Amino acid sequence: MPVHTSMRPQVPVTLLTGFLGAGKTTLLNRILSEEHGQRIAVIENEFGEAGIDSDLLVNSEEQIVEMNNGCICCTVRGDLVRILGQLAERRATGEVDFDRVIIETTGLADPAPVAQTFFVDDTVGRQYRLDAIVTVVDALHAPQQLDEHHEAQEQVGFADRILLSKTDLVTPAEADALAARLKGMNARAELMTVHFGHTDLARILDVDGFDLDAILEIEPDFLHDVAHEHDDEISSFVFRATRPFRIGKLEAFLSGMLSTHGKDMLRYKGVLDVAGMPARVVFQGVHMMMGSNVGQPWGEDEARESVMVFIGRKLPKDIILHGLEQCLARKGA
């Protein structure tokens, strides 16, 4: 994962996703009309020959770019790179000015290729910083959508924040059941409700969900022994250890795991205690791309613990957990 430095800070980017009709545009309207004092560039992607979402957006001075010749995650990924580059050039010349970018994807988009764009394209990586993936989930229709549509599960699995909309249309018991299901799929994402786009914007902007330095607070509230009626493809689990990792063993295991299961590993991140190192090692990845750096030093009397979170599609949990155990230093060593 490349590290970029420049005189001008990278522009934070929020990827706004969610299945068809979940309420993404309503939320975007809310963000654009909020008195937050920031100028926002919006990149809209509507699947089909003619986009209609821009007509629903509030009248504003924001820079709105509509990508309507295909799905942002496949046929127009090159266009995303081009548009981000053009926006950066116009910003550098003073033609436009903006403090952040929001990309609203079509409801059928897989977020992975969009997220990867910020790590595989050096020019984009120098100019922009992917801040977070925010997924809006329709409480009324989500149970059926999650059962029937692979994309709906992918969107939940990649999320840093999950916003539950239309909870007024379901019973409290139904909302609780859906929340438990979403937590089982992605326990590291903060879950909150949104009503007609109204939510605490401070909790969905500047999240630092893709910032290695921000992973040090990783302590997700994982649910244990939750009974699920649905065999969801996407699930999450955590690995914890109080013995340090042997770095050579760990690197070899992770390399093999990525070559075998990388396409099914949506998001993974962690804070590691590595034998012989006085500081934490922090890492995260998206599919086959993984990056790491040295974090804060361990305190002299601090209890060291490694915490790793995995979110993926039908991952062999027991095999992965056992393999990681084999990478730890022996007791007493």
Q: Is 3.40.50.300 the CATH number for 225-325?
A: no
Query: How far apart (Å, rounded) are the C-alpha atoms in residues 82 and 93?
Result: 17
At residue 136, the pLDDT reads 95
At residue 48, the pLDDT reads 34
Query: How far apart (Å, rounded) are the C-alpha atoms in residues 76 and 67?
Result: 8
Q: Is 3.40.50.300 the CATH number for 11-210?
A: yes
Angle at 134 between CA 133 and CA 136, to 5 degrees: 140
- In tens, the pLDDT along 299-333 reads 989 999 999 989 888 899 999 999 999 999 987 65
At residue 39, the pLDDT reads 82
At residue 2, the pLDDT reads 39
Residue 276 buriedness (CB in 10 A; 0-12 / 13-18 / 19+): exposed
At residue 321, the pLDDT reads 95
At residue 220, the pLDDT reads 47
At residue 242, the pLDDT reads 95
At residue 112, the pLDDT reads 80
At residue 67, the pLDDT reads 40
CB–CB of 162/190 below 8 Å? yes
Write down the pTM of the prediction: 0.75
Question: What angle do helix axes 150-158 and 111-120 make, rounded to 10 degrees?
Answer: 40
* Backbone phi, psi, residue 195, to 5°: -120, 110
Q: Where in the chain do CATH 3.40.50.300 domains reside? A: 11-210
Digits of tens for pLDDT over the chain (333 positions)? Answer: 333 334 568 999 999 999 988 888 888 888 877 777 778 888 876 533 333 344 433 334 444 444 433 333 334 457 788 888 888 998 899 888 888 899 988 787 778 878 888 877 888 889 999 999 999 999 999 999 999 888 899 899 999 999 999 999 999 999 999 999 999 898 888 999 998 888 888 889 898 888 766 666 654 443 343 344 455 788 888 899 999 999 999 999 999 998 999 888 888 888 999 999 999 998 888 888 888 888 889 998 999 999 998 988 889 999 999 999 999 998 765
* Backbone phi, psi, residue 156, to 5°: -70, -45
SS (H, E, C) the chain: CCCCCCCCCCEEEEEEEECCCCCHHHHHHHHHHCCCCCCEEEEEECCCCCCCHHHHCCCCCCEEEEECCCCCCCCCHHHHHHHHHHHHHHHHCCCCCCCEEEEECCCCCCHHHHHHHHHHCHHHHHHEEEEEEEEEEECCCHHHHHHHCHHHHHHHHHCCEEEEECHHHCCHHHHHHHHHHHHHHCCCCEEEEEECCECCHHHCCCCCCCCHHHHHHCCCCCCCCCCCCCCCCEEEEEEEECCCECHHHHHHHHHHHHHHHHHHEEEEEEEECECCCCEEEEEEEECCEEEEEEEEECCCCCCCCEEEEEEEECCCHHHHHHHHHCCECCCCC
How many whole angstroms from its chain centre is CA 161? 8
Q: Where in the chain do CATH 3.30.1220.10 domains reside? A: 225-325
CB–CB of 159/24 below 8 Å? no
